[in-house]
A = this chain, B = another copy of it.
């Protein structure tokens, strides 16, 4: 099955590049709301499931045990830009578990945020693992290990208790088997498991609506959503799509990007979960697709609509600020 064209990028009067993809929107009872393209093909959710990977930290009372703040809980779900506040909060999480950056096993890269990258270079600094966009998630993993009496060493490994707890949570909420035969290694070295988009969407529908969840999972999901809605900067960073969208919509939309064109969302007031992938892995396409679905499903006032339109249909300008192209959204997305 060929996935349809969903996002076109124009230049002048012509379409310059085209993105295909697949989309699944499911409600908290598991009924299909929208299905586009081949949704049976398994997709690595990558960082789009960080909020689900953070569930055990709260379900097991570890966030309370260490007195994690809302900022810290939000950062545990983040693919952050490595800005100073992200680094500070990741270090604070580790300190609460009596650990430091030396325990992080995510690897090191320069800050994903361009300004943060240059600021670090300008002060003569070099990056450490706290600047890794996954450092908040990993700090959460280390808290989870320490809080449950496990040695955090090797926590990224598939057989470490942390990754076993994380996999159980993912299987539980999505209803999909997470098998080694369909696993890969993520950018930050933890396992990632390929599952179908409707399972991912179903997980995020339950995550948003709080339905069909055990009491501790429901409470954990609600706390994560509220923490992220209160601190959307923490999950991404300056100018980023997730931060900008949740700045506009607060608790009405939980959205999270993943690498290779994956996006997941919960629209709690509708009880919908969303999972999508751009075939080619392109982030601009995945963002436009997610923006289109927000425009389609969520009731918005004029101001909100205009702000979301700017995210869903960005105008591309060149180095002199001249408009050179636009994003065109398929009617399949907009309904």
Contacts and interface: CB of A to CB of B under 8 A. Distances in A.
Interface of A: 2, 9, 11-14, 16-20, 42-44, 105-110, 114, 117-119, 121-122, 124, 132, 181-189, 192, 194, 260-261, 278-282, 285, 318-325
Given A2-B2, A13-B182, A122-B122, A19 B280 contact: yes
B280 A18 contact: yes
Given A16-B260, A114-B110, A260-B17, A186 B282 contact: no
Contact of A185 (B182, B192, B282, B322): B322
A186 B16 contact: no
Contact of A188 (B13, B105, B319): B319
A309 to B, nearest CB: 22
A181 B325 CA distance: 15
Contacts of A280: 17-20, 278-280, 282, 285
Contacts of A109: 319
Nearest to A15: B41
B282 A319 contact: no
A192 B279 contact: no
Contact of A281 (B16, B260, B279): B16
A276 B321 CA distance: 28
A9 B13 CA distance: 31
Contact of A184 (B14, B42, B124): B14
A42 B18 CA distance: 13
Nearest to A18: B279
A324 to B, nearest CB: 5
B194 A14 contact: yes
Contacts of A282: 280-282
B2 A16 contact: no
B318 A185 contact: yes
A12 B183 CA distance: 6
A281 B110 contact: no
Nearest to A320: B107
Contacts of A114: 110
5 contacts: A12-B185, A17-B279, A17-B280, A117-B118, A188-B319
Nearest to A259: B16
B182 A14 contact: yes
A282 B261 CA distance: 12
